[in-house]
Amino acid sequence: MIRKKIILIILDGLGDRAVETLGFKTPLQYAHTPNLDSMSERSSHGLMYPIAPGIRAGSDTAHLSLLGYEPYEVYTGRGPFEAAGLDMDLEPGDIAFRCNFATVDENMKVIDRRAGRIKSGTHELIKELNGIEIEGVKFYIKPGVEHRAALVMRGPNLSPQITDVDPHETGAVVHEAKPLVPEAEKTARVLNKFVKLAHEILDKHPVNIERKNKGLPPANILLPRGAGMVPHLKKFEDMWNMKGACVVGTPLIRGICKLAGIEPIDFPGATGSYDTDMRGKMTKAVEALETHDFVLVNIKAPDLAGHDMKPVKKVEVIKRIDDAIGHLVDILPENTVVMITADHSTPCSVGDHTGDPVPVLLYSTDARRDGVRFDEVSCAKGTLHLCGKDVMPVLLNAANRAEKFGA
Ligand SMILES: [Zn+2]
């Protein structure tokens, strides 16, 4: 029995619904995909519910499910995964948030939720804030791209059950974090104190005085949102007996992989935008197979087109993905299993994630060839019928890596 290696390609938000302007086809049904079609001739297909039928999965909860974690157990909010994606040191029990540098006036009214998409200076701004301790709780901040940052609270008896400080709209007054359960009272109180103290420090910081002098909005407040508790994730390698790597752009998915012990392969320019170098990602994935047994690739562009409600753009993105798949087939080493699927549907008619199932393609030299095309409708006639939690066992089986149950 030859143990094969595995590439799992997640086309973020690929699944769609019938689009009237495309003759009631989905973008994937409509798009001309010669390379995917030729791979399909040698593959099994099916449909998958990333979490369960009808559940509208986030990218984070869906990726957790596909990698074999129980999202309802390990997920309390996206903050921890964003923070891990920025390479912050985290400990189980920490409370982490995504946050924005923003601009408020003297009445704490939000003037700009992104502080003019501040380009530089955030690393200097956080210097005085990092390590601040309030009531035995320490605060750590790490800036991301532009106005984005992650905030971590570390201390005893903290809870993620609090509301956002970020009011999510311009012109609104900054919210106070409120506890959703009695055990979260301290967390909310301490966070509110920190936000106020940070505002006082930031407002008179030289970087902001300079910004004001130049007529730029000062980055004079941090607006945390998406509180979550850092989970204790069992290591991917211990669960599946495979060394994992990932080629992903978005910090959120990178963070999930980091917490799972899946090694992120750095990929310049992989910021999760429309113009990601998709061929380059395939090359990186194949290179990573030399040192790893399993490589996860995430391509964000289809999700963006879905959120933007642009079916024609989604068709274009799918054609570029098809080109990258052609490249992958050209360089794919022998004895590799490839699964192509999505983490959820992002239909252009909705502009957000839905619970519709996603198509699955499973390629291997000895895969059952079910003669189905890779799209949301044809895949229903395929041989696979999965939920997200089935993905890893199905891959392990296809790669001849599954343990036999019984004699
Ligand atoms: Zn999305």
225-241 per-position pLDDT tens digit = 999 999 999 999 999 99
Residue-level pLDDT at 267: 78
- Confidence label for 4 from pLDDT (cuts 50, 70 and 90): very high
Q: 57 CA distance to ligand 1 centroid (A)?
A: 9
**Residue 199, pLDDT above cutoff 60:** yes
Q: 13 CA distance to ligand 1 centroid (A)?
A: 6
- Confidence label for 207 from pLDDT (cuts 50, 70 and 90): very high
Q: What is the pTM (predicted TM-score) of this model?
A: 0.92
Residue-level pLDDT at 271: 62
Q: 402 CA distance to ligand 1 centroid (A)?
A: 32
What share of the chain has pLDDT > 90, as a percent? 95
Compute the distance between CA of residue 145 and CA of residue 251 in angstroms, rounded to an integer.
10
Q: 346 CA distance to ligand 1 centroid (A)?
A: 7
Residue 164: left if φ>0, alpha if ψ -120 to 50, beta else—which one?
Answer: beta
Compute the distance between CA of residue 96 and CA of residue 165 in angstroms, rounded to an integer.
13
Cα 159 to chain centroid distance, Å, stands at 23
CB 190 within 8 A of CB 135: yes
Q: 204 CA distance to ligand 1 centroid (A)?
A: 37
Arithmetic mean of pLDDT, 385-405: 97
Residue extents of the structural domains in the chain? 5-75+232-398, 82-229
CB 51 within 8 A of CB 62: yes
What's the Cα-to-Cα distance from 283 to each of 106, 248, 290, 356, rounded to whole Å? 52, 13, 12, 31
Q: 102 CA distance to ligand 1 centroid (A)?
A: 23
Q: Give the DSSP H or E segment for 153.
A: strand 148-154
Closest CA to 294 of 330, 247, 255: 247
Q: 376 CA distance to ligand 1 centroid (A)?
A: 18
Compute the distance between CA of residue 134 and CA of residue 350 in angstroms, rounded to an integer.
43
Phi, psi of 401 (to 5 degrees): -115, 0
DSSP state letter for 83: H
Instruction: Name the CA radius of gyration of the chain, rounded.
Output: 23
DSSP state letter for 181: S
Q: 325 CA distance to ligand 1 centroid (A)?
A: 22
Residue-level pLDDT at 270: 53
Counting Cα atoms < 13 Å in the Cβ hemisphere of 325 gives 26
Summarize pLDDT for 56-97 with one digit per residue, the tens. 999 999 999 999 999 999 999 999 999 999 999 999 999 999
**Residue 269, pLDDT above cutoff 70:** no
Q: What would the two tokens of residue 235 be?
A: 């290591």
Compute the distance between CA of residue 398 and CA of residue 6 in angstroms, rounded to an integer.
9
Summarize pLDDT for 147-175 with one digit per residue, the tens. 999 999 999 999 999 999 999 999 999 99
Summarize pLDDT for 336-350 with one digit per residue, the tens. 999 999 999 999 999
- Confidence label for 249 from pLDDT (cuts 50, 70 and 90): confident
Residue-level pLDDT at 303: 97
CB 6 within 8 A of CB 341: no
Arithmetic mean of pLDDT, 33-58: 98
Q: What would the two tokens of residue 23 be?
A: 């003759």
Q: 86 CA distance to ligand 1 centroid (A)?
A: 19
Arithmetic mean of pLDDT, 35-45: 98
Q: 364 CA distance to ligand 1 centroid (A)?
A: 29
Q: 81 CA distance to ligand 1 centroid (A)?
A: 15
Residue-level pLDDT at 276: 87
Q: 300 CA distance to ligand 1 centroid (A)?
A: 8
Q: How many CB atoms lie within 10 A of CB 176?
A: 15
What share of the chain has pLDDT > 70, as a percent? 99
Counting Cα atoms < 13 Å in the Cβ hemisphere of 345 gives 28
Arithmetic mean of pLDDT, 288-300: 97
Burial class from Cβ neighbours inside 10 Å (0-12, 13-18, 19+) for residue 23 reads exposed
Arithmetic mean of pLDDT, 267-280: 78
Compute the distance between CA of residue 143 and CA of residue 146 in angstroms, rounded to an integer.
8
Residue-level pLDDT at 94: 97
CB 263 within 8 A of CB 290: no
Q: 305 CA distance to ligand 1 centroid (A)?
A: 9
- Confidence label for 274 from pLDDT (cuts 50, 70 and 90): confident
Maximum alpha-carbon separation in the chain: 77
Residue-level pLDDT at 275: 82
- DSSP bridge partners of 245: 263, 295
Compute the distance between CA of residue 198 and CA of residue 126 in angstroms, rounded to an integer.
9
Compute the distance between CA of residue 401 and CA of residue 379 in angstroms, rounded to an integer.
25
- Confidence label for 2 from pLDDT (cuts 50, 70 and 90): very high
- DSSP bridge partners of 330: none
Q: How many CB atoms lie within 10 A of CB 148?
A: 19
Per the listing, tokens 């069992």 go with 234
Q: Considering the domain delimited by 5-75+232-398, tell me its CATH architecture.
A: 3-Layer(aba) Sandwich (3.40)
**Residue 292, pLDDT above cutoff 90:** yes
Q: 58 CA distance to ligand 1 centroid (A)?
A: 7
